[in-house]
């Protein structure tokens, strides 16, 4: 059974098995997605980290 999924970037149907770029259809889509993370267009939900002063960091 061949599993086909949509590329999260371009929405093209692509086969999952033996796809070197999965979940993307190509290196191009993978790099576009990576660029979006680098440009901070995507974020992981969560609380902001606590700020620490320099004295607390030494311990």
Are the C-beta atoms of residues 24 and 15 closer than 8 Å to each other? no
Say if residue 24's pLDDT is above 90.
Answer: yes
Which domain covers residue 39, as residue numbers? 4-43
Q: Residue 35 — very low, low, confident or very high, per pLDDT cuts 50/70/90?
A: very high
Confidence (pLDDT) at 30: 96
Across the chain, mean pLDDT equals 87
Q: Residue 55 domain-assigned?
A: no
Q: Residue 48 domain-assigned?
A: no
- Three-class SS state of 6: strand
Can you tell me the distance from the alpha carbon of 55 to that of 24, in angstroms, rounded to the nearest whole number?
Answer: 45
Q: Residue 57 domain-assigned?
A: no
Q: Phi and psi for 6 in degrees, rounded to 5? A: -85, 135
The CATH number for 17's domain is: 3.30.50.10
Confidence (pLDDT) at 16: 87
Are the C-beta atoms of residues 16 and 22 closer than 8 Å to each other? yes
């Amino acid at each position: 059974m061949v599993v086909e999924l949509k590329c999260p970037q371009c929405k093209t149907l692509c086969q999952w098995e033996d796809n070197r770029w999965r979940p993307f259809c190509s290196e191009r889509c993978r790099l576009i997605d990576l660029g979006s993370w680098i440009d901070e267009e995507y974020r992981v939900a969560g609380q902001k980290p606590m700020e620490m002063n320099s004295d607390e960091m030494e311990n």
